Structure 1
Amino acid sequence: MIYDGHCHVASTDFIPDAFLGDVAYGMHRRLDLVAAGPPLDRLHESYRAQHRDHDADRLVAEMDAAGIARSVLLVPDFGYVMPGQPDLAAMAQRHHEIRLRHPGRFWVYLGADPRRGEAGARAFADLVDRFGLDGMKLYPPCGYSPSDRSLYPYYEVCRSRRLPVFVHTGPTAQSLTFTTSEAILVDRAARDFPDVPFVLGHGGVTDVEVSSYLAAHRPNIYVDTGGFAGSPVVGGWVAHLNRLFRLGINHKIIFGTDWPLNQLTGGLQGLVGEIRDGGEVFAGVSQRDQDLILRENLLRVLSPASAAAAGPTPGRQRSGATA
């Protein structure tokens, strides 16, 4: 049984077209440095066409083919930096409807932005309670530090409901800032809220040295592998993941793909097949550690109610505040 801790609904209903265009622009610039690539408008339209899975039907089909039982759907809040995104209440409602359409397949982490203030924290709490949401998603490249004190009312909501906080780290769309997405910036918040699990999105792929150091020494910090197949890493992603799984922090690594990025690299079935059956990714890694990475660690950071939704799993134990 495999759980994917890092997915998005590939839909222009949730991801602003401005963000898709920004990503296409970055891709266009990189391609032009190597060889003449397709025109920017064609790249943008191609990327937009990949984001029409509005009810997650295609994602579920990919999960079925890959043998992924459940996934976390992340709902970023781009409202302060990009036009065209529905409000958080509308996106929470839609993601709730997607869960009803595909029962037993998804957990949902809702976005937040500290500039919405304490009223935003109260609205976040209301949406969590109304729809039974499972965590919070932060996107610091929008212009704030994950340790900004204005986020503390949100963290109090997460602490009271035992929800994990998923924090994007590393590079992103060209127009957003990278300086607030450094992994080390999570440290103060993790220290001030030791019983809240913090998951460093992409922490197993970018800024790995700092992310793995934090995971090794902060009991409530975890890293995920989101975006591994699309990141420029030495020797390719297969060798990179094997190096990551030999760092001694497998009790803190959560498997994640960052779908829909995988549409550009052959889909979930090929990626998961290479991980599960290829032999190299888990070479020298014990079966127990493989189970932790592919399933158990995600269950550990989820609230007891959210973890219970996955059904009984031998040896399950919540360890958000233990090393």
Structure 2
Amino acid sequence: MTSATETETETETATDAASRPAPPLIYDGHCHVASTDFIPRQFMEDVAATVHRALEAQGAAPPLARLVDAYAAQHQDHDADALVAEMDAAGVARSVLMVPDFSLRMDCPLTPEEMARRHHEIRLRHPGRFWVFIGADPRHGADGIAAFEHAVTQYGFEGLKLYPPCGYSPSDERLFPYYEICAERGLPVFVHTGPTVRSLDYEPAHPMLIDRAAREFPGVEFILGHGAVTYFDVCADLALHRPNVHLDLGGFAGAALPDGWPTHLNRAFRLGLNHKMIFGTDWPLNRMTGGLTRLVREVTEGTEVFAGVRRREQALILSGNLARLLTRKGNE
């Protein structure tokens, strides 16, 4: 027999649960498949060398080769199963998989066409969990344009991913045919900005280099990768004054910020640009520091990141802005 006290307690518990706000809808707008099939060995060696230099200065550096092997061991999630498991644990509904094209600067295990096919297979393996922004390099010429058009037609990929540190400007006129395709199909363009690994070029990654393309293609939505973290003042000005420029938060947890990333993000969210901010982690960047679950909880449940930010604007940052860009012409 249930006592009156137990019944009252159950009723209070049910009422409390009903009054609690539903967890926010979260999309991760900046992810990569953590796989040595997709990330060149040279890229991993460069990342390991940077870590090695820091550890060496502290007198605690293991052999560089061991660091490279450890980094590679963290990139054996060839079918994105581990990523999906982390998304489930963190409450991330869907993520954008970025597929940069390094093929003209580094030895790559797969051709760009093979990488596109493999990412299509990953989507079939995990239905409803991923969008894909496929990479391009304007120096591939007509063949590259045809390959991009095939990928978005045959596989239904939702965007274009550019990595200017490979040696080109995002306003290079050889990219204009890609932008015309994107304008016609309502596909966003994600452009890496800011520093990268030591083997690549930093100068082409300055955000101002996107300005001509954003001006000449007002129907294309450009997302500045890492724009809410690196070159932030420049990126914020571009997003404020160019209607088709948006800022990605990717890499915020690994950035060198004097007051820490929660303080930096809170300051960024008070500038009146929350309709232009897109939540992203740059996974697997965070795998060794607690993963997605820790990051998402600190953003959504911590006391600092969203302090003073209205709930509706939080929803825009966490999913609404990306959803709006991806559904401009039915990329659902």
> What range describes the TM-score normalised by the shorter chain of this pair?
over 0.9
Question: What is the identity, as a one-letter code, of the residue corresponding to 1:295?
Answer: S
The alignment's TM-score, normalised by the length of structure 2, stands at: 0.91
Residues 230 and 218 (structure 1), Cα distance of their counterparts in 2 relative to 1, 3 Å cut: same
Q: Deviations along 1:148-193, whole A, 9 cap, x unmatched?
A: 1111111111111110000000001111010000011100000000
Question: What is the identity, as a one-letter code, of the residue corresponding to 2:102?
Answer: F
Q: Distance in 1 between matches of 2:330 and 2:113?
A: 20
Select which of 107, 110, 118 maps to 2:131. Answer: 107
Aligned to 1:271: 295
State whether structure 2 residue 153 is matched by structure 1 residue 118. Answer: no
Aligned-residue offset at 1:306: 5.1
Q: 1:2-17 maps to which residues of 2 (within 5 A)?
A: 2-17=26-41
| SS at structure 2 position matched to 1:250 | coil
On the 8 A contact 1:250/1:292 being kept in 2, the answer is: yes
Aligned to 2:186: 162
Q: Distance in 2 between matches of 1:178 and 1:31?
A: 24
Q: 1:15-164 maps to which residues of 2 (within 5 A)?
A: 15-164=39-188
Q: Percent identity?
A: 62
Count of aligned positions = 308
On the 8 A contact 2:34/2:80 being kept in 1, the answer is: yes
Q: Over aligned residue pairs, what C-alpha RMSD do you find?
A: 1.1
Q: Deviations along 1:20-76, whole A, 9 cap, x unmatched?
A: 111111221233234432221111111100100000000000000000000000000
Aligned to 2:212: 188
On the 8 A contact 1:2/1:70 being kept in 2, the answer is: yes
Which shifted more, 29-38 or 109-118? Answer: 29-38
Q: Distance in 2 between matches of 1:202 and 1:54?
A: 25
Aligned-residue offset at 1:303: 4.1
The alignment's TM-score, normalised by the length of structure 1, stands at: 0.93
Greater Rg, structure 1 or structure 2?
Answer: 2
Q: Distance in 2 between matches of 1:29 and 1:283?
A: 36
Aligned to 2:257: 233
| SS at structure 1 position matched to 2:247 | strand
Aligned to 1:294: 318
Q: Distance in 2 between matches of 1:81 and 1:138?
A: 14
Unmatched 5+ residue regions in structure 2? Answer: 1-24
Select which of 249, 270, 275 maps to 1:251. Answer: 275
| SS at structure 2 position matched to 1:251 | coil
Q: Distance in 2 between matches of 1:82 and 1:294?
A: 34
| SS at structure 2 position matched to 1:104 | coil
